[in-house]
Each structure stands twice: as C-alpha cells, then as structure tokens.
C-alpha cells in the first residue's frame, strides 16, 4: 500500500508565510490606527481652536457692543457733540468685566495694541450723504466711528484670540426733508382730492382715512403701523374714500423712530420746549439748550407791557427802539373765531406784527445787523419772538408776519412759542424759509382785521401762496373731536371758496400739542370755508444749502459694517 507523505519543510514554509502575512496585516492595521488617532487628535485640536476662536469673536463683539450701546444712546439724546466729548470714556470704561458676569473673569481685551482699552476712532464728521436701505430717498449728515476690540480667554490652553471691527454711522436727517412728519400719531382725512408729493413719517400710528381720493407719491412709513381707519376716538364713521400708494414698495411699518436729540425725555410735550425760552439757569450747551430757537436765532425780539426791545447774539448792545419801529408793531388786534372763551365768544388776538418787507429793507442797510456772523456781511436770517405781555382770559397773544412776499436774500426763519399767523403771499421767490410756533394760521392777502368779527361769509379770502416749512403744534383727537389731521394742519379764518386757492410749497412738521391755541378743529361753517389746496413738498430742501435757517435734525444710529480684525490691527478684514 502506497502512502503520500508531506515534507516537513513544506509545512514550515506554509506556516511561515501565514505568520508573515499576519504580521504585515497587523502592521498595516496599526499604521491605519495610528493615522486615525493622529487625524482624530489633530481634528479635535482644530475643533477646539475653532471653538475658542468663535468664543473670542463673540467676546470681542460683546466688547464693541458695550461701546456701541452708550454711543447710540448719547447720540440720540445729545447729538454728535455728546458722543465726541465721551470718546475717552468709551475707550477706557466700557469693557465686559466680572462685575457684569463671572464669565468675564478670565478674559483680556485690547484695542489692538493697548490692554484694557477699546479702539474708538472718528472716520468722518458730518458728511452730507445720500442714505440707503429704509432711508432711501433721504440724505443726512453722517458722522462715522470705527469701534474695534480684540479678546483672548487667558484661562484657555488654546490661547486663541480674535478681533472684531464695527462701524457706526450717526446720521442726522434735516426734518424738513419730509413732506409730513409727526412726533406722535398722524391722521390724514381729506375731504377733497389730495396728493402728497414728498416723504411721510409718523413716529407712532398713521391713520389713513380719506373721504375723497388720497395719493401718496413717495415713501410712507410709521413706527407702529399704517391703518386704513380713523383714530378710535374719532366718531365720524368709517372713511369713504380711496388711497393710492404710487410706490407701494416704499410703504413701511414698523420702522425705527426718528427723534430730536433733546435728552432722555423725547415725548411730544418735551419736544415743545425747543420753541420756548429757556428756564433760568439752563445751560445753553445742554442737549435741549442747543436746540432752542431762543438760543440760536440771530435776532431776539422781546415784547412786554413796558415796550419792545431787540438784541442780536453777535452784538453787545440792544438795537435802538427807534429802529425797531420800522418793522415791529403791537398796535393791531383782531377777532380769532376758532379760539373762543367758555361763552363761545371769540378771543381777541393781540399780535406782535413783523413787517417782513420793511425788515428786509432795514436789515440790508443797517450796519448793526451787518455784524451778524462775526463781522461779515451776512444779513440776519432768523428772528425769535418772546411775548411777555399780560393777557386776560379773553385775549390771545400771537405773532404775525405780513408783507413777506420778499424775504432777506439769505432766507428767513421766524420762531416763537406763541401762535403764529402769516398774512398774504409769503416768500414768492422761494428762498429758504420756515415758520415755527405754537400753531400756524394762514390769512389770505384779502384779510382785514376790521372784518374779523363779522360772520364767516363776510371774511372772504383771495388766492394766496406760502413757500415755507411749518414746524408747529396741533390739538390732538379726543372723544368726539377730530384733530383736523394733516389735511387741516394750517389753520384758516376766512371763506375761501373753490375759486380761491391756497398754494403751499414746503414741509409740514407736527411736533407737539399746542399750548395757547387749544380749541379743537371745527369746520361747521362759522370759522372758515376751506380753500382749494395746491400743496407740494419743496424739493429745494433736498439740497443742504437750501434748507431753512436753524433746521432741526432727526437722529438715527445706523450699523454700517461688521468684520473681523487681524491681530494687532484696527481695520476690517473680511466683511460679513
């Protein structure tokens, strides 16, 4: 019997090959494992560094936000000057700290080079710029600041710092760039076809309530909402007209409020102080003091029971009373049909009359006023009137401008805390002009003081043109009493009729509740018959050189840029 035998040598060779293959596979597996472990370690390290970098970005951004918050607050309450005066404080005293949260105990901050500081630097000062975004169509004076912080968590083993660059634009928008603006609610309830050519802004609710056809030709915005209805206190019934938004893409609500930098209290009642004389002891450099017409006007005209005097903030002596008689008088009176006493009897208006034509002639030839502007040939372009006379309950102290078809060549602003009346054509050459007062009443060129106490049918108006911005007050809607809205914002005391047109070219700014002219709007036929309205926004106000003298500016802080900042630098890198 034959048997096969296997050579011991072949067995040993097979076993050796298997062992070698096992060793090779093991080595490869160990290599892969080592690579995986190395990759995993590197990946974990990169992940930790990425996390630390993002934490540092967030911390640096928090540091910049601690500066941007106070800067925005200071700008909205006090303007650019307040921000400029506080730069040292922003740089040194606004870092995140353990007093805010224990989280910040291990963090260090630099401005790029110096520890415990934030970089805050002026980029440009009040450059007049066309605005974008929701403010497209407006222009404003833009002051820009760069704010940069670098942050590093000293308690972290990664030692990964990061920096953030932010740019803040402090924007001041001339208030007369709006065809209509209200600091509170706005109501528009037109009884005849009405077209509004410029931008409209309500700082609260806009009630669109036409009884005829109403057309908005430009942007329309409200801080709270835009509603097609009447104010809930207005009991006249639902609006029966139609409204057209020529540019519906420019209809916006809610939007950010636009306010004056008068301090922390910015209510309509507080805003009214800009037309009042300052109280004793008020610093004229305070936020409110800087906006008072009293402090900024070229000519201060003061009327009392003892007489009239006038001064200029550029002169050391009062203007001679004999010269004032050329253009100022208190000899007139007229019956004010809207402002009545409890019995229904009209009050007697006692005006401080300013003859603008005579003022123009006198101011252009009188050397005293040619010193206005620090010894230059600039003619006075603003008058503020204080009326300190004593009145009975049946009398109303007012200011009236007349013979104003031709203004001084530099334009003119007339302001007072009293009701203001403009009689006859005003500023027919369309120079920069504004009228500022408690309420504004338009008297036509046919107005007669002697006829003022007659029935409304005997007070007949003639077509009249006024080219001036109005900044004034109103009587708000109360239960059963409509305010009159922006369509009745200028007041009237005559019968106009459809053949007589009131042509208006300007900007209507409703800033506060009236204090003296407080009787509610009433169109029952005893006070006035409304004019045909030919109203338009004055596009000259889009040009900063053609704005009325002493035009107030509304404030808005805009975040312009956000970027990382390279170590040790104060500029932006990548934009996000």
pLDDT at 7: 57
How many Å apart are CA 245 and CA 248, to the nearest integer?
Answer: 5
CA separation (Å) from 83 to 90, 151, 173, 556?
9, 24, 17, 13
CA separation (Å) from 254 to 178, 243, 406?
18, 19, 42
How many Å apart are CA 500 and CA 460, to the nearest integer?
Answer: 9
Band (9; pLDDT cuts 50, 70, 90): low
pLDDT of 280-337, one tens digit each? 999 999 999 999 999 999 999 999 999 999 888 777 678 878 888 899 999 999 999 9
Lowest-confidence region among 24-33, 204-213, 455-464: 24-33
Instruction: Tell me what the mean pLDDT of segment 133-149 comes to.
Output: 89
pLDDT of 238-253, one tens digit each? 898 999 999 999 999 9
Mean pLDDT of the chain: 89
Tokens of 158: 């990664």
Tokens of 560: 């312009």
How many Å apart are CA 455 and CA 444, to the nearest integer?
Answer: 16
| Percent of the residues in the chain that have a pLDDT greater than 90, as a whole number | 70
Instruction: Tell me what the mean pLDDT of segment 549-566 comes to.
Output: 93
The SS3 assignment for 145 reads strand
Instruction: Tell me what the mean pLDDT of segment 4-13 comes to.
Output: 55
How many Å apart are CA 363 and CA 385, to the nearest integer?
Answer: 17
Lowest-confidence region among 125-139, 193-207, 280-294, 428-442: 125-139
Phi, psi of 92 (to 5 degrees): -115, -20
Contacts of 111 (CB under 8 A, 6+ apart): 91, 117, 118, 119, 148, 149, 150, 570
CB atoms within 10 A of CB 304: 12
Please give the radius of gyration of the chain, using alpha carbons only, rounded to the nearest integer. Answer: 35
Phi/psi-derived region of residue 547, left when phi > 0, alpha when psi is between -120 and 50, beta in every other case: beta
pLDDT at 377: 56
How many Å apart are CA 268 and CA 290, to the nearest integer?
Answer: 18
Q: Is pLDDT at 11 greater than 70 in this prediction?
A: no
| Percent of the residues in the chain that have a pLDDT greater than 70, as a whole number | 90
pLDDT of 418-476, one tens digit each? 999 999 999 999 999 999 999 999 999 999 999 999 999 999 999 999 999 999 999 99
pLDDT of 343-369, one tens digit each? 789 999 999 999 999 999 888 777 655
Instruction: Tell me what the mean pLDDT of segment 196-214 comes to.
Output: 95
How many Å apart are CA 195 and CA 202, to the nearest integer?
Answer: 17
Lowest-confidence region among 125-134, 199-208, 228-237: 125-134
pLDDT of 105-115, one tens digit each? 999 999 999 99
Name the DSSP class of 369. G
pLDDT at 576: 46
> Could you state, in order of their start, the residue ranges of all structural domains in the chain?
29-175+556-565, 297-534
Contacts of 34 (CB under 8 A, 6+ apart): none
Contacts of 550 (CB under 8 A, 6+ apart): 293, 296, 297, 382, 413, 415, 434
Instruction: Tell me what the mean pLDDT of segment 396-401 comes to.
Output: 98
How many Å apart are CA 460 and CA 446, to the nearest integer?
Answer: 7
How many Å apart are CA 148 and CA 146, to the nearest integer?
Answer: 7
Q: Is pLDDT at 342 greater than 70 in this prediction?
A: yes
pLDDT at 1: 47
Instruction: Tell me what the mean pLDDT of segment 120-143 comes to.
Output: 89
Angle ∠(487,489,495) on CA atoms, nearest 5: 80
Beta bridge partners of 118: none
pLDDT of 49-98, one tens digit each? 788 889 999 999 999 999 999 999 999 999 999 999 999 999 998 899 98
Q: Which among 543, 535, 513, 510 is positioned nearest to 180, based on CA atoms?
A: 510
Band (15; pLDDT cuts 50, 70, 90): low
How many Å apart are CA 294 and CA 278, to the nearest integer?
Answer: 7
Residue located via tokens 């002051």: 143
Q: Which among 433, 310, 288, 429 is positioned nearest to 363, based on CA atoms?
A: 310
């Amino acid at each position: 019997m034959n048997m096969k035998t296997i050579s011991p040598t072949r067995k040993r060779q097979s076993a050796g090959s298997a062992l070698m293959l096992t060793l090779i596979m093991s080595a490869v597996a160990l290599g892969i494992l080592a690579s995986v472990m190395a990759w995993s370690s590197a990946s974990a390290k990169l992940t930790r560094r990425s996390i630390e970098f993002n934490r540092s970005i967030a911390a640096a951004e928090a540091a910049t936000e601690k500066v941007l918050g106070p800067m925005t607050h200071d700008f909205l309450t006090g303007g650019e000057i307040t921000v400029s005066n506080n730069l040292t404080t922003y740089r040194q005293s606004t870092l995140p700290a353990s007093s805010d949260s224990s989280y910040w105990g291990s963090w260090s901050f630099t401005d790029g080079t110096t520890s415990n500081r934030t970089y805050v630097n002026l980029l440009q000062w009040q450059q007049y710029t066309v605005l974008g975004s929701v403010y497209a169509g407006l222009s404003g004076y833009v002051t820009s600041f760069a704010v940069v912080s670098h942050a590093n968590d000293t308690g972290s083993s990664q030692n990964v710092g990061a920096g953030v660059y932010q740019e803040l634009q402090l924007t001041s928008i001339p208030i007369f760039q709006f065809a209509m603006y209200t600091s509170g609610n706005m109501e528009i309830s037109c009884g005849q076809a009405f077209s509004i050519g410029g931008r409209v802004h309500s700082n609260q609710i806009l009630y669109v309530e036409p009884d005829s056809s109403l057309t908005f030709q430009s942007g329309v915005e409200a801080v709270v909402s835009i509603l097609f209805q009447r104010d809930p206190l207005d009991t006249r019934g639902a609006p029966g007209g139609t409204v057209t938004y020529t540019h519906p893409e420019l209809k916006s609500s809610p939007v950010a409020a636009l306010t004056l930098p008068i301090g922390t209290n910015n209510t309509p009642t507080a805003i009214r102080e800009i037309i009042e004389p300052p109280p004793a002891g008020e610093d004229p450099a305070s936020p409110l003091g800087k906006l008072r017409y009293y402090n900024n006007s070229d000519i201060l005209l003061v009327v009392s029971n003892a007489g009239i005097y006038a001064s200029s903030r550029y002169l050391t002596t009062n203007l001679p009373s004999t010269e004032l008689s050329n253009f100022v008088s208190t000899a007139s009176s007229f019956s004010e049909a809207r402002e009545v006493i409890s019995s229904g009897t009209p009050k007697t208006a006692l005006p401080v009359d300013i003859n603008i034509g005579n003022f123009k002639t006198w101011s252009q030839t009188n050397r005293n006023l040619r010193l206005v502007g620090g010894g230059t040939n600039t003619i006075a372009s603003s008058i503020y009137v204080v009326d300190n006379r004593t009145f009975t309950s049946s009398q109303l102290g007012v200011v009236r401008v007349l013979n104003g078809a031709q203004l001084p060549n530099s334009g003119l602003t007339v302001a007072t805390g009293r009701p203001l009346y403009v009689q006859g054509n005003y500023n027919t050459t369309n120079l920069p002009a504004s009228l500022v007062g408690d309420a504004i009443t338009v008297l036509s060129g046919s107005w007669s003081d002697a006829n003022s106490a007659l029935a409304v049918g005997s007070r007949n108006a003639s077509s009249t043109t006024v080219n001036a911005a109005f900044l004034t007050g109103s009587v708000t809607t109360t239960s059963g009493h409509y305010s009159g809205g922006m369509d009745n914002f200028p007041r009237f005391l005559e019968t106009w009729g459809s053949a007589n047109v009131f042509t208006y070219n300007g900007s209507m700014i409703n800033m506060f509740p009236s204090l003296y002219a407080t009787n509610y709007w009433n169109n029952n036929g005893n006070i006035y018959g409304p004019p045909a309205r030919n109203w338009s926004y004055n596009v000259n106000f889009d040009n900063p050189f053609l704005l009325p003298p002493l035009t107030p500016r509304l404030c808005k802080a805009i975040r312009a840029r956000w970027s990382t900042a390279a170590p040790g630098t104060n500029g932006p890198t990548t934009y996000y």
